[in-house]
Amino acid sequence: MVRQGNGVCLLQAQIAANDTKFELQASQVNGTSPTNGLAFENAPFGFGDIITCTSGGNTDSATITDVAIANNRYSYTINAAFGNIKAAGSEVFIAEGNVNANIQLKDVSLSCAKVSPPANWIDRTLQMISSPQGYNFDIDSVLNTPVSKTAGENQIVCYIPTIASRAKSVLCVPINAAGVNTFTNDFTDSTYDNIRADSYSFFYESQQHPSEEVDLVRYNGNKLQAEHLYELEKSLSTQYEVKRLDYVIPQVANRSRQYFAIGRQLTPVGSMNLNNRDMQFRMKCIPNQTLQNQTIFNFYIHAVRRVKVDLSGVRVVM
């Protein structure tokens, strides 16, 4: 149960079964003495609250329709009689399921911290910008390369064109082409059942990565293969610190189909140059089965870009 205020609210006097008014004991009002804080804003109950009173083994509830101050006590009117006699000193409270909470925000303001870099750092930065080398810093980026495959194919080969020279991982999200109508669907509505996947592998300059194909067939009708999840975790960890994969592959069957993804970490340290290089994704369907629908394989390439600032302006180096 939930009790309003800092103290317990008790009935001042007995309430008959047909009474619709009651008072609270002054010494118990909001945990304060009757001469302190006895005002409407401090009332333990307010208009519209559903209060509960238990006495003699009977529990009854009613809705407050009026609040007043009488005899230096809070006086309440309820919409209907409790229906049972309530003895003096009985507790009055709001049950947990009937809490009517109102929150008001006043004079809301936004405080922003002002950062003032040291003068010597500013001087060094301006010197680098003025020099032929310029001021350089790296940023993480994600490049998207979609590849469309028609229904009926069972040996999927996707060439991944990209100009990323410092790539770290690739994330493949297959989606049903018929459902591509919003930007959000590209990320949330991936497909598993329609691709009838058996295994996959990536190829870099005609070399298979990893060295063996990775299984994609579910091993008990519900859960995905552990090897596939391990490869996915490695690819995500190059950009994010991944503790759990629930948000990518939830354990509920239908949601794991919706968030299906295939990942490949290109290198555990450093990066890999994909600019003008041969990068392929190959997937085999289950024997005697094919893609059920036209499918777009969305490849998201996590790469490091360098931003250069000099007297000529700002440039991004792939």
Boundaries of every domain in the chain: 9-98, 137-302
Comparing 44 with 247, the larger pLDDT belongs to 44
> Any idea which of 204-208, 223-227, 242-246 has the lowest mean pLDDT?
242-246
To the nearest whole number, what is the mean pLDDT of the chain? 78
Comparing 37 with 124, the larger pLDDT belongs to 124
pLDDT(318) > 60: yes
What is residue 282's predicted lDDT score, i.e. its pLDDT? 92
pLDDT(199) > 70: yes
Confidence of residue 259 (pLDDT cuts 50, 70, 90): low
> Any idea which of 130-144, 243-257, 295-309 has the lowest mean pLDDT?
243-257
Write the CATH number of the domain with boundaries 9-98. 2.40.30
Class of domain 137-302: mainly beta
The answer for residues whose C-beta is within 8 angstroms of residue 139's C-beta and 6 or more apart is: 304, 305, 306, 307
